[in-house]
Amino acid sequence: MASPRDQAVLQAIFNPNNPFGDDLCLEGEGELTDDESGDIDAAMEAFDQAIAIIPERASAYNNRAQALRLKGDNTGALSDLNKAVELSEGKGRTACQALVQRGLLYRLNQQDPEALHDFQQAAGLGNKFARKQVTLMNPYAALCNRMLAEMMTNVIKPEPPSV
Q: Residue 87: which residues within 8 A CB-CB, separation 6 or more? A: 56, 57, 58, 61
Indicate if the pLDDT at residue 117 is higher than 80: yes
Indicate if the pLDDT at residue 52 is higher than 70: yes
- pLDDT attached to residue 27: 41
Q: Residue 114: which residues within 8 A CB-CB, separation 6 or more? A: 103, 106
Give me the domains of the chain, ranges plus CATH numbers.
38-153 (1.25.40.10)
- pLDDT attached to residue 36: 54
- Residue pLDDT, tens place only, 135-157: 888 877 767 877 888 888 888 88
What is the spatial distance between Cα 72 and Cα 19, in angstroms, rounded to a whole number? 21
CA atoms within 13 A of residue 32's CA, in its CB half-sphere = 7
Is the pTM for the entire model greater than 0.85? no
Indicate if the pLDDT at residue 131 is higher than 70: yes
Q: Residue 92: which residues within 8 A CB-CB, separation 6 or more? A: 125
Q: Do the beta carbons of residue 19 and residue 43 sit within 8 Å?
A: no
